[in-house]
Structure 1
Amino acid sequence: MGIEFSLFTGKVMHKRLAPKENGFVYDAFFVAIPLKKLDELPIAYNRFGVTSFYDADHGPRDGSTLYEWAQDILKSHKVKNVKDITLITTPRYLGYGFNPISYWLCYDTEDNIRAILCEVHNTFGEDHTYICVPQEGNVIDDTTLTTTEKVFHVSPFMHRHGRYDFRFKISDTYFASWIDYFAEDNTKLLATSLMGQLRPWTRVSYHKFLWAYPFNSLKTIGLIHWQALKLALKGLKYISKPTQKETRVSVAKQRRK
Protein backbone atom coordinates (compact mmCIF):
# COMPACT_ATOMS: atom_id res chain seq x y z
CA MET A 1 0.00 0.00 0.00
CA GLY A 2 2.85 2.43 0.75
CA ILE A 3 2.45 5.76 2.50
CA GLU A 4 -1.11 7.07 2.50
CA PHE A 5 -2.16 10.77 2.37
CA SER A 6 0.22 12.40 4.86
CA LEU A 7 1.71 15.74 5.85
CA PHE A 8 5.47 16.05 6.17
CA THR A 9 7.25 18.59 8.36
CA GLY A 10 10.98 18.63 8.77
CA LYS A 11 14.27 20.32 7.97
CA VAL A 12 16.16 20.92 4.74
CA MET A 13 19.95 21.16 5.08
CA HIS A 14 22.49 22.24 2.45
CA LYS A 15 26.21 22.44 3.19
CA ARG A 16 28.69 23.49 0.50
CA LEU A 17 32.16 22.26 1.38
CA ALA A 18 34.29 23.60 -1.49
CA PRO A 19 35.59 25.79 -3.00
CA LYS A 20 33.96 28.11 -0.41
CA GLU A 21 31.92 26.92 2.53
CA ASN A 22 28.29 27.95 2.79
CA GLY A 23 25.38 26.31 4.55
CA PHE A 24 21.79 26.73 5.63
CA VAL A 25 18.95 24.89 7.35
CA TYR A 26 15.27 25.76 7.05
CA ASP A 27 11.87 24.31 7.87
CA ALA A 28 10.15 22.27 5.18
CA PHE A 29 6.54 21.32 4.47
CA PHE A 30 5.62 18.58 1.98
CA VAL A 31 2.61 16.40 1.28
CA ALA A 32 2.55 12.67 0.53
CA ILE A 33 0.08 11.65 -2.18
CA PRO A 34 -0.70 8.05 -3.20
CA LEU A 35 -1.02 8.33 -6.98
CA LYS A 36 -3.77 5.72 -7.25
CA LYS A 37 -5.98 7.92 -5.07
CA LEU A 38 -5.66 11.29 -6.79
CA ASP A 39 -9.44 11.41 -7.14
CA GLU A 40 -9.59 11.49 -3.31
CA LEU A 41 -7.08 14.33 -2.98
CA PRO A 42 -8.10 16.60 -0.07
CA ILE A 43 -7.05 19.79 -1.91
CA ALA A 44 -7.91 21.27 -5.32
CA TYR A 45 -6.84 18.93 -8.12
CA ASN A 46 -5.93 20.40 -11.52
CA ARG A 47 -7.81 23.59 -10.66
CA PHE A 48 -7.12 26.78 -8.75
CA GLY A 49 -7.39 26.74 -4.98
CA VAL A 50 -5.74 28.17 -1.91
CA THR A 51 -3.59 25.07 -2.23
CA SER A 52 -3.70 22.81 -5.27
CA PHE A 53 -1.99 19.93 -7.02
CA TYR A 54 -1.54 19.85 -10.81
CA ASP A 55 -0.46 16.86 -12.89
CA ALA A 56 1.29 19.33 -15.19
CA ASP A 57 3.84 20.15 -12.47
CA HIS A 58 5.26 16.62 -12.59
CA GLY A 59 6.20 13.73 -14.78
CA PRO A 60 5.38 13.50 -18.48
CA ARG A 61 3.29 16.62 -19.15
CA ASP A 62 1.97 14.79 -22.22
CA GLY A 63 -1.51 13.81 -21.10
CA SER A 64 -0.63 10.42 -19.63
CA THR A 65 -1.24 9.85 -15.94
CA LEU A 66 1.54 10.25 -13.40
CA TYR A 67 1.18 6.62 -12.33
CA GLU A 68 1.46 5.37 -15.92
CA TRP A 69 4.50 7.56 -16.57
CA ALA A 70 6.29 6.26 -13.50
CA GLN A 71 5.44 2.65 -14.34
CA ASP A 72 6.81 3.09 -17.87
CA ILE A 73 10.11 4.38 -16.43
CA LEU A 74 10.28 1.51 -13.95
CA LYS A 75 9.65 -1.10 -16.63
CA SER A 76 12.26 0.43 -18.94
CA HIS A 77 14.81 -0.01 -16.12
CA LYS A 78 13.63 -3.56 -15.34
CA VAL A 79 12.03 -2.67 -12.01
CA LYS A 80 9.20 -5.15 -11.55
CA ASN A 81 6.30 -5.78 -9.19
CA VAL A 82 5.60 -2.15 -8.27
CA LYS A 83 1.98 -1.85 -7.19
CA ASP A 84 1.72 1.50 -5.37
CA ILE A 85 3.50 4.82 -5.82
CA THR A 86 3.46 7.70 -3.33
CA LEU A 87 4.61 11.17 -4.40
CA ILE A 88 6.21 13.42 -1.78
CA THR A 89 6.11 17.01 -3.02
CA THR A 90 4.86 20.51 -2.24
CA PRO A 91 1.52 21.78 -3.57
CA ARG A 92 0.90 25.10 -5.24
CA TYR A 93 -0.12 27.96 -2.98
CA LEU A 94 -2.50 30.52 -4.54
CA GLY A 95 -1.55 29.15 -7.95
CA TYR A 96 2.23 29.28 -7.52
CA GLY A 97 4.48 26.30 -6.96
CA PHE A 98 8.15 25.38 -7.22
CA ASN A 99 9.62 22.02 -6.25
CA PRO A 100 13.43 21.74 -6.25
CA ILE A 101 12.92 18.01 -5.69
CA SER A 102 10.01 15.59 -5.44
CA TYR A 103 10.24 11.94 -4.44
CA TRP A 104 8.29 9.08 -6.01
CA LEU A 105 8.33 6.08 -3.64
CA CYS A 106 7.61 2.84 -5.52
CA TYR A 107 6.26 -0.04 -3.41
CA ASP A 108 5.68 -3.70 -4.15
CA THR A 109 2.81 -5.81 -2.79
CA GLU A 110 4.70 -6.41 0.47
CA ASP A 111 5.33 -2.68 1.07
CA ASN A 112 9.01 -2.92 0.15
CA ILE A 113 10.46 0.02 -1.76
CA ARG A 114 11.64 -1.20 -5.16
CA ALA A 115 12.77 2.17 -6.51
CA ILE A 116 12.71 5.90 -5.76
CA LEU A 117 12.39 8.52 -8.48
CA CYS A 118 13.99 11.85 -7.57
CA GLU A 119 12.42 14.47 -9.83
CA VAL A 120 14.62 17.58 -9.83
CA HIS A 121 13.65 21.05 -11.09
CA ASN A 122 15.93 24.03 -11.61
CA THR A 123 15.01 27.72 -11.68
CA PHE A 124 15.30 27.76 -15.49
CA GLY A 125 12.11 25.73 -15.92
CA GLU A 126 13.88 22.44 -16.67
CA ASP A 127 13.57 19.06 -14.97
CA HIS A 128 15.38 15.74 -14.75
CA THR A 129 14.54 12.51 -12.95
CA TYR A 130 17.13 10.27 -11.28
CA ILE A 131 15.75 6.78 -10.65
CA CYS A 132 17.42 5.06 -7.69
CA VAL A 133 17.32 1.28 -8.03
CA PRO A 134 18.86 -1.47 -5.89
CA GLN A 135 20.75 -4.47 -7.19
CA GLU A 136 18.51 -7.10 -8.74
CA GLY A 137 16.55 -8.93 -6.08
CA ASN A 138 17.13 -6.25 -3.44
CA VAL A 139 14.88 -3.51 -2.07
CA ILE A 140 15.72 0.02 -0.94
CA ASP A 141 16.26 0.40 2.80
CA ASP A 142 18.44 2.55 5.05
CA THR A 143 21.56 0.55 4.09
CA THR A 144 21.15 1.15 0.34
CA LEU A 145 23.52 3.57 -1.38
CA THR A 146 22.90 4.42 -5.03
CA THR A 147 25.09 6.58 -7.21
CA THR A 148 24.94 8.23 -10.62
CA GLU A 149 26.66 10.78 -12.82
CA LYS A 150 25.43 14.36 -12.47
CA VAL A 151 23.80 15.23 -15.81
CA PHE A 152 21.47 18.11 -14.92
CA HIS A 153 22.36 21.75 -14.26
CA VAL A 154 20.97 23.02 -10.96
CA SER A 155 23.24 25.64 -9.40
CA PRO A 156 24.99 28.37 -11.43
CA PHE A 157 27.96 27.93 -9.08
CA MET A 158 28.57 24.23 -9.73
CA HIS A 159 29.57 22.42 -12.89
CA ARG A 160 27.45 19.74 -14.54
CA HIS A 161 29.79 16.85 -13.91
CA GLY A 162 30.82 14.65 -11.02
CA ARG A 163 28.45 12.28 -9.24
CA TYR A 164 25.58 12.08 -6.76
CA ASP A 165 25.21 9.58 -3.93
CA PHE A 166 21.67 8.90 -2.66
CA ARG A 167 20.56 7.38 0.67
CA PHE A 168 17.12 7.13 2.28
CA LYS A 169 15.43 6.15 5.52
CA ILE A 170 11.67 5.72 5.21
CA SER A 171 8.80 4.42 7.31
CA ASP A 172 5.08 5.16 7.58
CA THR A 173 5.88 8.04 9.97
CA TYR A 174 9.36 9.19 8.94
CA PHE A 175 11.15 10.26 5.76
CA ALA A 176 14.80 11.14 5.30
CA SER A 177 16.88 11.70 2.19
CA TRP A 178 20.61 12.38 1.90
CA ILE A 179 22.06 13.48 -1.44
CA ASP A 180 25.79 14.21 -1.61
CA TYR A 181 27.65 15.65 -4.59
CA PHE A 182 31.25 14.76 -5.46
CA ALA A 183 33.69 16.17 -8.00
CA GLU A 184 35.33 13.92 -10.57
CA ASP A 185 38.39 13.59 -8.30
CA ASN A 186 36.09 12.32 -5.50
CA THR A 187 36.22 15.58 -3.51
CA LYS A 188 32.96 16.05 -1.64
CA LEU A 189 31.52 19.40 -2.70
CA LEU A 190 28.00 19.39 -1.27
CA ALA A 191 26.02 17.57 1.43
CA THR A 192 22.23 17.85 1.52
CA SER A 193 19.50 16.28 3.59
CA LEU A 194 15.75 16.36 4.10
CA MET A 195 14.47 14.81 7.34
CA GLY A 196 11.14 14.92 9.12
CA GLN A 197 7.94 13.34 10.37
CA LEU A 198 4.92 12.12 8.42
CA ARG A 199 1.55 12.70 10.07
CA PRO A 200 -2.04 11.84 9.07
CA TRP A 201 -3.61 14.35 6.67
CA THR A 202 -6.83 15.71 8.14
CA ARG A 203 -8.69 18.94 7.43
CA VAL A 204 -7.68 20.34 10.83
CA SER A 205 -4.03 19.30 10.60
CA TYR A 206 -3.68 20.64 7.05
CA HIS A 207 -5.07 24.06 7.95
CA LYS A 208 -2.75 24.14 10.94
CA PHE A 209 0.24 23.47 8.70
CA LEU A 210 -0.86 26.15 6.24
CA TRP A 211 -0.75 28.71 9.03
CA ALA A 212 2.65 27.41 10.15
CA TYR A 213 4.14 27.35 6.62
CA PRO A 214 2.51 30.15 4.62
CA PHE A 215 3.75 30.81 1.07
CA ASN A 216 5.94 27.70 1.21
CA SER A 217 6.99 27.75 -2.47
CA LEU A 218 7.67 31.50 -2.48
CA LYS A 219 9.87 31.00 0.56
CA THR A 220 11.79 28.25 -1.24
CA ILE A 221 12.48 30.26 -4.39
CA GLY A 222 13.38 33.30 -2.28
CA LEU A 223 15.90 31.32 -0.26
CA ILE A 224 17.45 29.90 -3.44
CA HIS A 225 18.14 33.38 -4.79
CA TRP A 226 19.32 34.64 -1.39
CA GLN A 227 21.87 31.82 -1.15
CA ALA A 228 22.97 32.50 -4.74
CA LEU A 229 23.63 36.13 -3.81
CA LYS A 230 25.70 35.05 -0.80
CA LEU A 231 27.78 32.75 -3.01
CA ALA A 232 28.35 35.53 -5.54
CA LEU A 233 29.48 37.86 -2.75
CA LYS A 234 31.94 35.18 -1.61
CA GLY A 235 33.54 35.36 -5.04
CA LEU A 236 32.37 32.10 -6.58
CA LYS A 237 32.50 32.04 -10.36
CA TYR A 238 29.14 32.10 -12.17
CA ILE A 239 28.71 29.12 -14.50
CA SER A 240 26.41 29.68 -17.45
CA LYS A 241 23.68 27.11 -17.94
CA PRO A 242 24.62 24.54 -20.59
CA THR A 243 22.06 23.17 -23.02
CA GLN A 244 20.01 20.52 -21.25
CA LYS A 245 20.89 16.96 -22.21
CA GLU A 246 18.32 15.17 -24.34
CA THR A 247 17.74 12.38 -21.86
CA ARG A 248 15.31 13.34 -19.10
CA VAL A 249 15.76 10.22 -16.96
CA SER A 250 18.95 8.57 -15.68
CA VAL A 251 19.55 5.70 -13.30
CA ALA A 252 21.38 5.68 -9.95
CA LYS A 253 22.63 2.16 -9.30
CA GLN A 254 23.36 0.56 -5.97
CA ARG A 255 26.97 0.24 -4.86
CA ARG A 256 28.77 -0.69 -1.69
CA LYS A 257 29.33 2.08 0.87
Structure 2
Amino acid sequence: MNRTPAARPGLYPCEIGHVRTDPVRHTLRHRTYMWLVDVDRPPALPRPLRPLAGFRAADHFTGDAPSLRAGLEGFLATHGVDLEGGRVLVLTHARVLGYVFNPLTLYWCHSPDGAPRCVVAEVHNTYGERHAYLLHPDEAGVAHVDKDFYVSPFFPVDGAYRMRLPLPADRLDLTVRLDRPGARPFTATVRGTRREATPAALLRLALRHPLSTLAVSAGIRRHGIRLYLRGLPVQPRPSHRTTEKAT
Protein backbone atom coordinates (compact mmCIF):
# COMPACT_ATOMS: atom_id res chain seq x y z
CA MET A 1 0.00 0.00 0.00
CA ASN A 2 1.18 3.52 -0.76
CA ARG A 3 1.86 6.37 1.64
CA THR A 4 -0.83 9.03 1.76
CA PRO A 5 -0.66 11.72 -0.94
CA ALA A 6 -1.45 15.37 -0.38
CA ALA A 7 -4.84 15.93 1.23
CA ARG A 8 -6.15 18.10 -1.64
CA PRO A 9 -9.36 16.67 -3.13
CA GLY A 10 -8.95 14.93 -6.47
CA LEU A 11 -11.34 14.18 -9.31
CA TYR A 12 -10.96 11.00 -11.34
CA PRO A 13 -12.68 10.78 -14.71
CA CYS A 14 -12.85 7.01 -15.07
CA GLU A 15 -14.25 4.00 -16.89
CA ILE A 16 -16.02 1.33 -14.88
CA GLY A 17 -16.04 -2.12 -16.47
CA HIS A 18 -17.97 -5.28 -15.55
CA VAL A 19 -17.14 -8.55 -17.28
CA ARG A 20 -19.23 -11.68 -16.68
CA THR A 21 -17.92 -14.98 -17.98
CA ASP A 22 -20.32 -17.50 -16.42
CA PRO A 23 -22.96 -18.72 -17.11
CA VAL A 24 -23.01 -16.30 -20.08
CA ARG A 25 -20.47 -13.75 -21.22
CA HIS A 26 -21.57 -10.15 -20.85
CA THR A 27 -19.68 -6.85 -20.67
CA LEU A 28 -20.73 -3.48 -19.26
CA ARG A 29 -18.64 -0.31 -19.61
CA HIS A 30 -19.59 3.07 -18.24
CA ARG A 31 -17.76 6.40 -18.06
CA THR A 32 -18.21 8.58 -15.01
CA TYR A 33 -16.10 10.38 -12.42
CA MET A 34 -15.28 9.86 -8.74
CA TRP A 35 -13.84 11.92 -5.90
CA LEU A 36 -10.86 11.18 -3.67
CA VAL A 37 -11.13 13.33 -0.54
CA ASP A 38 -9.84 13.48 3.01
CA VAL A 39 -12.75 12.32 5.15
CA ASP A 40 -12.20 15.27 7.49
CA ARG A 41 -11.74 17.89 4.74
CA PRO A 42 -14.50 17.72 2.12
CA PRO A 43 -14.08 20.10 -0.81
CA ALA A 44 -14.95 23.73 -0.23
CA LEU A 45 -16.86 24.65 -3.38
CA PRO A 46 -18.40 27.94 -4.50
CA ARG A 47 -22.05 28.06 -3.49
CA PRO A 48 -23.43 27.65 -7.06
CA LEU A 49 -21.52 24.37 -7.47
CA ARG A 50 -22.40 22.78 -4.13
CA PRO A 51 -25.42 20.90 -5.53
CA LEU A 52 -22.94 19.05 -7.80
CA ALA A 53 -20.91 17.52 -4.95
CA GLY A 54 -22.57 16.60 -1.66
CA PHE A 55 -20.84 14.37 0.89
CA ARG A 56 -23.34 13.24 3.54
CA ALA A 57 -22.82 10.86 6.44
CA ALA A 58 -26.40 9.66 5.89
CA ASP A 59 -25.33 8.08 2.59
CA HIS A 60 -22.89 5.68 4.29
CA PHE A 61 -22.68 2.98 6.97
CA THR A 62 -25.70 3.05 9.33
CA GLY A 63 -26.74 6.47 8.01
CA ASP A 64 -27.25 7.95 11.47
CA ALA A 65 -23.73 9.04 12.43
CA PRO A 66 -23.02 12.78 12.83
CA SER A 67 -20.14 12.66 10.33
CA LEU A 68 -18.60 10.33 7.78
CA ARG A 69 -15.60 9.71 10.05
CA ALA A 70 -17.93 8.86 12.94
CA GLY A 71 -19.76 6.33 10.77
CA LEU A 72 -16.47 4.76 9.68
CA GLU A 73 -15.10 4.66 13.21
CA GLY A 74 -18.31 3.07 14.46
CA PHE A 75 -17.84 0.27 11.95
CA LEU A 76 -14.12 -0.11 12.77
CA ALA A 77 -14.87 -0.25 16.50
CA THR A 78 -16.96 -3.40 15.97
CA HIS A 79 -13.75 -4.99 14.62
CA GLY A 80 -11.48 -3.69 17.37
CA VAL A 81 -9.74 -1.09 15.17
CA ASP A 82 -8.91 2.40 16.48
CA LEU A 83 -7.27 4.79 14.02
CA GLU A 84 -6.44 7.27 16.81
CA GLY A 85 -7.30 10.15 14.50
CA GLY A 86 -5.18 8.94 11.58
CA ARG A 87 -5.94 10.21 8.11
CA VAL A 88 -8.64 8.57 6.00
CA LEU A 89 -8.90 9.05 2.25
CA VAL A 90 -12.19 8.08 0.67
CA LEU A 91 -12.94 7.31 -2.99
CA THR A 92 -16.62 7.79 -3.70
CA HIS A 93 -19.34 9.25 -5.86
CA ALA A 94 -20.70 12.52 -4.52
CA ARG A 95 -24.38 13.33 -4.26
CA VAL A 96 -25.33 15.21 -7.45
CA LEU A 97 -28.50 17.33 -7.55
CA GLY A 98 -29.94 15.38 -4.63
CA TYR A 99 -29.16 11.86 -5.86
CA VAL A 100 -26.34 9.43 -5.15
CA PHE A 101 -25.66 5.75 -5.79
CA ASN A 102 -22.35 4.26 -4.73
CA PRO A 103 -21.77 0.66 -5.84
CA LEU A 104 -18.36 0.80 -4.12
CA THR A 105 -16.89 3.34 -1.72
CA LEU A 106 -13.33 2.77 -0.48
CA TYR A 107 -11.68 4.14 2.65
CA TRP A 108 -7.89 3.99 2.96
CA CYS A 109 -7.24 4.26 6.70
CA HIS A 110 -3.93 5.29 8.26
CA SER A 111 -2.30 5.50 11.67
CA PRO A 112 -1.35 8.93 13.07
CA ASP A 113 2.18 8.48 11.67
CA GLY A 114 0.78 8.00 8.15
CA ALA A 115 1.38 4.25 7.98
CA PRO A 116 -1.38 2.25 6.20
CA ARG A 117 -3.67 0.55 8.71
CA CYS A 118 -6.54 -1.01 6.75
CA VAL A 119 -9.01 -0.49 3.92
CA VAL A 120 -12.78 -0.53 4.24
CA ALA A 121 -14.83 -1.44 1.16
CA GLU A 122 -18.45 -0.32 1.46
CA VAL A 123 -20.81 -1.90 -1.06
CA HIS A 124 -24.31 -0.70 -1.94
CA ASN A 125 -26.76 -2.74 -3.97
CA THR A 126 -29.69 -1.50 -6.05
CA TYR A 127 -32.13 -2.62 -3.32
CA GLY A 128 -31.02 0.17 -0.99
CA GLU A 129 -28.87 -2.07 1.21
CA ARG A 130 -25.28 -1.51 2.38
CA HIS A 131 -22.51 -3.71 3.64
CA ALA A 132 -18.90 -2.99 4.60
CA TYR A 133 -15.84 -5.25 4.45
CA LEU A 134 -12.73 -4.70 6.58
CA LEU A 135 -9.62 -5.49 4.50
CA HIS A 136 -5.91 -5.76 5.20
CA PRO A 137 -4.25 -5.56 1.76
CA ASP A 138 -0.71 -6.79 1.22
CA GLU A 139 2.14 -4.65 -0.12
CA ALA A 140 0.70 -4.96 -3.64
CA GLY A 141 -2.67 -3.65 -2.46
CA VAL A 142 -4.37 -7.06 -2.78
CA ALA A 143 -6.88 -8.39 -0.24
CA HIS A 144 -9.15 -11.43 -0.09
CA VAL A 145 -12.50 -11.62 1.69
CA ASP A 146 -15.50 -13.95 1.68
CA LYS A 147 -18.59 -12.60 -0.07
CA ASP A 148 -21.25 -11.80 2.56
CA PHE A 149 -23.64 -9.52 0.69
CA TYR A 150 -26.20 -9.89 -2.10
CA VAL A 151 -25.24 -7.61 -5.00
CA SER A 152 -26.14 -9.05 -8.39
CA PRO A 153 -29.49 -10.88 -8.57
CA PHE A 154 -27.79 -13.50 -10.76
CA PHE A 155 -25.17 -14.62 -8.20
CA PRO A 156 -25.87 -16.26 -4.84
CA VAL A 157 -24.09 -15.08 -1.70
CA ASP A 158 -21.14 -17.42 -1.85
CA GLY A 159 -17.53 -17.44 -3.00
CA ALA A 160 -14.89 -14.82 -2.21
CA TYR A 161 -13.55 -11.57 -3.58
CA ARG A 162 -10.03 -10.81 -4.66
CA MET A 163 -9.65 -7.04 -4.49
CA ARG A 164 -6.68 -5.11 -5.81
CA LEU A 165 -6.98 -1.67 -4.23
CA PRO A 166 -3.83 0.46 -4.47
CA LEU A 167 -4.30 3.95 -3.10
CA PRO A 168 -4.97 6.24 -6.10
CA ALA A 169 -2.32 8.80 -6.96
CA ASP A 170 -1.96 10.09 -10.54
CA ARG A 171 -3.73 6.93 -11.70
CA LEU A 172 -6.80 5.12 -10.43
CA ASP A 173 -6.57 1.36 -11.12
CA LEU A 174 -8.80 -0.97 -9.10
CA THR A 175 -9.90 -4.56 -9.70
CA VAL A 176 -12.52 -6.63 -7.87
CA ARG A 177 -12.85 -10.28 -8.89
CA LEU A 178 -15.42 -12.78 -7.67
CA ASP A 179 -14.11 -16.32 -7.22
CA ARG A 180 -16.65 -19.13 -6.90
CA PRO A 181 -15.97 -22.86 -6.70
CA GLY A 182 -14.45 -23.85 -10.04
CA ALA A 183 -15.04 -20.45 -11.68
CA ARG A 184 -14.15 -16.76 -11.75
CA PRO A 185 -17.45 -15.49 -13.13
CA PHE A 186 -17.21 -11.75 -12.54
CA THR A 187 -14.56 -9.03 -12.64
CA ALA A 188 -15.04 -5.30 -12.12
CA THR A 189 -12.43 -2.66 -12.91
CA VAL A 190 -12.22 1.09 -12.28
CA ARG A 191 -9.55 3.00 -14.20
CA GLY A 192 -8.95 6.72 -14.50
CA THR A 193 -6.54 9.65 -14.26
CA ARG A 194 -6.45 12.28 -11.54
CA ARG A 195 -7.52 15.87 -12.12
CA GLU A 196 -7.22 18.67 -9.60
CA ALA A 197 -10.64 19.31 -8.12
CA THR A 198 -11.04 22.87 -9.32
CA PRO A 199 -14.48 24.42 -9.88
CA ALA A 200 -13.81 24.47 -13.62
CA ALA A 201 -12.85 20.78 -13.67
CA LEU A 202 -15.96 19.81 -11.70
CA LEU A 203 -18.22 21.85 -13.96
CA ARG A 204 -16.75 20.25 -17.08
CA LEU A 205 -17.25 16.74 -15.69
CA ALA A 206 -20.76 17.49 -14.47
CA LEU A 207 -21.72 18.74 -17.92
CA ARG A 208 -20.09 15.73 -19.60
CA HIS A 209 -21.74 13.26 -17.18
CA PRO A 210 -25.02 14.84 -16.01
CA LEU A 211 -26.63 13.06 -13.06
CA SER A 212 -23.63 10.77 -13.08
CA THR A 213 -24.63 8.38 -10.29
CA LEU A 214 -28.20 8.11 -11.56
CA ALA A 215 -26.71 7.03 -14.90
CA VAL A 216 -24.64 4.35 -13.10
CA SER A 217 -27.72 3.02 -11.30
CA ALA A 218 -29.82 3.06 -14.48
CA GLY A 219 -27.05 1.31 -16.43
CA ILE A 220 -26.83 -1.51 -13.90
CA ARG A 221 -30.59 -2.04 -14.03
CA ARG A 222 -30.64 -1.91 -17.84
CA HIS A 223 -27.97 -4.57 -18.13
CA GLY A 224 -29.76 -6.63 -15.49
CA ILE A 225 -32.87 -6.65 -17.66
CA ARG A 226 -30.81 -7.79 -20.65
CA LEU A 227 -29.32 -10.66 -18.65
CA TYR A 228 -32.76 -11.68 -17.40
CA LEU A 229 -34.08 -11.70 -20.97
CA ARG A 230 -31.18 -13.95 -21.92
CA GLY A 231 -32.51 -16.51 -19.47
CA LEU A 232 -30.33 -16.04 -16.38
CA PRO A 233 -32.25 -17.17 -13.30
CA VAL A 234 -32.66 -14.72 -10.43
CA GLN A 235 -31.17 -15.91 -7.15
CA PRO A 236 -33.23 -15.48 -3.95
CA ARG A 237 -32.23 -12.38 -2.00
CA PRO A 238 -31.62 -13.12 1.68
CA SER A 239 -32.65 -10.63 4.33
CA HIS A 240 -29.74 -8.38 5.24
CA ARG A 241 -28.76 -6.76 8.50
CA THR A 242 -25.80 -4.49 8.01
CA THR A 243 -22.65 -5.66 9.76
CA GLU A 244 -22.06 -2.03 10.72
CA LYS A 245 -24.57 -2.55 13.55
CA ALA A 246 -23.13 -5.86 14.73
CA THR A 247 -21.89 -6.09 18.31
Hey, which of these two has a bigger chunk of strand by percent?
A: 1
Q: Which residue of 2 aligns with 1:92?
A: 95
Deviates more, 1:1-10 or 1:146-155: 1-10
Could you list the per-position Cα deviations for residues 160-193 of structure 1 after superposition, in whole angstroms to 9, with x for gaps in the alignment?
A: 111111112334322221110011x241110111
Q: Residue 59 of structure 1: CA displacement?
A: 2.4
Residues 77-106 of structure 1: CA deviation (Å, up to 9, x unaligned): 455656101111111221111111111111
Partner-residue secondary structure (3-state), 2:165 = strand
| Distance 1:227-1:130 versus aligned 2 partners, 3 A rule | same
Q: Which residue of 2 aligns with 1:230?
A: 226
Query: Structure 1 stretch 50-59 or stretch 95-104: which is displaced more?
Result: 50-59
Tell me the C-alpha RMSD between the 2 structures.
2.3
How much does 1:242 deviate?
1.2
CA deviation profile, 1:43-93 (whole Å, cap 9, x unmatched)? 77xxx8244222211123223322133234445445565610111111122
Measure, in 1, the Cα distance between the counterparts of 2:141 and 2:221: 33
CA spacing shift, 1:147–1:186, aligned 2, 3 Å: farther
Q: What is the percent sequence identity of the aligned residues?
A: 23
- Contact kept, 8 Å, 2:17 with 2:29, in 1: the verdict is yes
* Candidates 6, 16, 20, aligned match of 2:20: 16
Paired AA for residue 247 in structure 1: T
Match of 1:200 in 2: 196
Unaligned runs of 5+ in 1: 135-139, 251-257
Measured in 2, the distance between the counterparts of 1:58 and 1:203 equals 25
Which amino acid in 2 is paired with 1:149? D
Residues 163/236 of structure 1: CA separation in 2 closer, same or farther (3 Å cut): same
**CA distance in 1: counterparts of 2:230 and 2:34, whole angstroms:** 31
Find out whether 1:213 has 2:217 as its counterpart.
no
* TM-score, with structure 1 as normaliser: 0.83
Q: Which of 127, 137, 159 does residue 156 from structure 2 map onto? A: 159
Q: Which runs of 4+ in 1 moved over 6 A?
A: none
Separation in structure 1 between the aligned mates of residue 220 and residue 62 of structure 2, nearest angstrom: 25
| Long gaps (5+) in structure 2 | none
What CA distance in whole angstroms lies between the structure 2 residues aligned with 1:132 and 1:186? 24
